[in-house]
Structure formats: structure tokens, C-alpha cells
Amino acid sequence: MKFSIIIPTYNYGHLISRAINSIPDNKNIEIIIIDDGSTDDTRHIVEQLSQQRNNVHYTLKNNSGAASARNKGIETSTGDYILFLDADDELLPDLFTEISNLVTVNTELLIGGHLSIESASSNNKAKIKQHLTHPVPDKKNADKPNEKFDQFYAYLKKEIPIMHGAFIVKKEIMQKYHYHEDFKSGEDIPVFAHLIASCKITFSEKIFLKLNKHNDSLRHNPEHAIAAGLKIVDCIFDKTILSEKMMRLKDWYFAKRCLSLFRTCYLSNNCYQARQYYFMAIKKQPACIFKLSYLRKFIRCLF
């Protein structure tokens, strides 16, 4: 069984060695670096590492975003299973020893936990938070017909923490759900939703990933999130992929997404756009007005 580790990168030459070195030098693991047009020393660093290891492969492409880089990685991968790792993160030691005991030919999607690590600053100590994953709603329902709906609904409610680097998926399945290259933020949300809605999931209590938070990370760029806006809702609710029962959640999720964008705009001091998203949420789901934390922020936006 062969694993493909896909690492998209853009100007992370100062961090990418850590990501690569967290992966075993193993003939059954290929490391695919997709460089999205970096202008720093990323290429030089990766080529040096590829001379020391047998499983590092480098591809340079024109800059067009992480989604495009991940899709290119899927296209060039030769493994049976794929794991996506961001260039500023790292896998935990001995992870693949554990994975080898969990993954079988019938495994479709394996989800593990992750650690989010916020570096120490002059004012604060380093913060480490553990995110574990588990079957939803509970193991006794695992064989019931509504299992996939329950998992899909739980993901939309953020009850299944899934992150790049903390899941492994069968390549033949991943080829069906490419990343939307129009999005610079949130491009993973529809992919994760479709995988969870359609795959038989194996949950692991093992921590797979160290997710390293830092100030220049693109993960929470408010401009990118606003640009993706509500288009993500339509991408998720694709009737060719989801069941009729799953499609009934669209209005609820639309309102939820509006509130999320409201909060993003509010924190960015964009009160005009924040108000527009709040009104859209209330129009779609009037009960949203009873979410007091959002209502308080909305009142502040008025003044």
C-alpha cells in the first residue's frame, strides 16, 4: 500500500523543511511538493532535501492558489491513499506506523485528531489545543441508514474537526472531488463536506498533525473569506452528490454561513457589509435573531 503526501507551498521556504522532515523516508510514501510560483528559496531548499531523500518530488507551477496546487498534486500522485499537508504544519512522529495498522483495502476515509499550536509571544505563552475526532452521533448508530446524513450534518455544525494533514482518503475517491480553484479561502469546505457525505469513515483517536498558527498564515485571511462569500454554499449543496435529505439543510446552512461572514466582516471593522450578511441570515432563518452573541455585535455595528 502506497501513500502520497501532497504539500502545496507558496513562499514557505523558511518552514517547508520542517514539514518534509516530519514524514518518514519510506519507499511506500511519496512526498509531492507543488510549488505555486514561490519567489523565495523554496525550490533550492526542496531540491537539497530531495538529494538526501528518495521520496521527495518537486513541481513548480504558475501562481494560482492552494486549490490549484492540491489538484495538481492529486493529478500527479501515484499512491493508493492521499494525505494533504500544509507547508507550515508537520505530522506527528510514528504516525505511519499507526496508520498502517488502521488502513485496509476497504478504508475510504480515515480521520484523526490534531494539535493547534499558537506560538509564544512577548506577552503570552505558547498555546496548545487538542482536537480529537469521534463517530457521530455515537457508535451504536454506526450501522443505521442515516449514518451519512448524521455525519454530514455534524460536519456542517463543526462537530467533526477535519483538517489537512489529519485525514487520509483513498485516491480513487479523492479524484471525484477536486478543490474549487476560484476560492482563495474556504476551498476545502465543499471537499470535506462531500467526502464526509459520501464516504465510509474510520475515526482514529490518534493525533495526526501539529497545526502551527502564525501571523502570516493565509488560513484566516478575511478578504479571501469574504471573496468566497456565499458561493461555497452552492458548491456544497450539489444535488448530483448529496441526498435529498442532505439538500434540505441548504437554507439552514446558508444562514449559518451568513452569520460566519457577518462575524468576519465585524472583526475586520467592515460594519456595512457585516450588516448586510446579518440581514440575509435573519431573512433566511428568522430564528437567528435569538443568537445573542451575534445580535450584540449587530447592535454595535449600528452605532
184 located within any domain: yes
This prediction's pTM: 0.90
Separation of CA 123 from chain center: 29
Residue 143: pLDDT band (50, 70, 90) is: low
- Residue 294's domain comprises 249-302
Segment 244-273, tens digit of pLDDT: 999 999 999 999 999 999 999 999 999 999
Lowest-confidence pick of 30-44, 132-146, 232-246: 132-146
Neighbouring-strand partners of residue 211 = 116
Tell me, yes or no, whether 208 lies in a domain.
Answer: yes
Judgement on whether residues 229 and 273 belong to the same structural domain of the protein? no
CA dist., res. 149 & res. 145, Å (int)? 9
- Residues above pLDDT 90, as percent of the chain: 75
Tell me, yes or no, whether 139 and 271 share the same domain.
no
Helix, strand, coil percent values for the chain (each to nearest 5) = 45, 20, 40
CATH code where residue 100 lies: 3.90.550.10
Cα dihedral 131, 245, 193, 221 in deg (nearest 10): -90
Ramachandran area for residue 204 (φ above 0: left; ψ -120 to 50: alpha; else beta) = beta
| Residue 77 within a domain | yes
Is 60 exceeded by the pLDDT of residue 220?
no
User: 112 pairs with which residues across the strands?
Assistant: none
Give the CA count within 13 Å in the CB-facing half-sphere of 220. 11
Among 205, 236, 267, residue at a domain's last position:
236
Q: For residue 98, is it within any domain?
A: yes
Q: Are residues 106 and 190 part of one domain?
A: yes
Looking at residue 248, its pLDDT comes to: 97
pLDDT mean over 24-34: 95
Q: Is pLDDT at 224 greater than 80 in this prediction? A: no
- Please indicate, yes or no, whether residues 230 and 288 belong to a single structural domain of this protein: no
Q: pLDDT tens across 41-64, in order?
A: 999 999 999 999 989 999 999 999
Chain Cα centroid distance, residue 44: 28
For residues 225 and 102, membership in a common domain is answered with yes
Is the Cβ–Cβ distance between 36 and 42 less than 8 Å? no
- Counting other chains too, the contacts that 123-132 makes at CB distance below 8 Å and 24 or more residues apart are 130/207, 131/161, 131/163, 132/161, 132/205, 132/207
Q: How many CB atoms lie within 10 A of CB 230?
A: 13
In the structure grid, which three cell numbers stand for residue 269, read together?
A: 471593522
Residue 223 inside a domain? The answer is yes
Domain termination site, one of 236, 261, 276? 236
- pLDDT of 133 reads 87
Q: Does 154 map to a domain? A: yes
Grade residue 69 by pLDDT with cuts at 50, 70 and 90.
very high
Indicate the pLDDT class of residue 225, thresholds 50, 70 and 90: confident
Q: Residues 72, 80, 55, 99: is their CA dihedral positive or negative?
A: positive
The whole-angstrom separation of Cα 34 and Cα 2 is: 19
Q: What letter represents residue 192's amino acid?
A: F
- Looking at 36-45, 135-144, 145-154, which range is the least confident one? 135-144
Average pLDDT, integer, range 205-217: 83
Domain co-membership, 268 together with 196: no
Distance of CA 294 to the CA centre of its chain: 25
Residue 100 has a pLDDT of: 83
Dig out the grid coordinates for 44 from the structure.
533550492
Number of domains present in the structure of the chain: 2
Per-residue pLDDT, 215: 62
Distance, CA of 139 to CA of 108 (rounded, Å): 18
Query: Which pLDDT belongs to residue 228?
Result: 81
At residue 122, does pLDDT exceed 70?
no
Average pLDDT over residues 19-46: 95
Query: In this structure, are residues 258 and 284 in contact, taking their beta carbons and an 8 Å threshold?
Result: yes
- Is residue 243 in some structural domain? no
Q: What is the pLDDT of residue 266?
A: 94
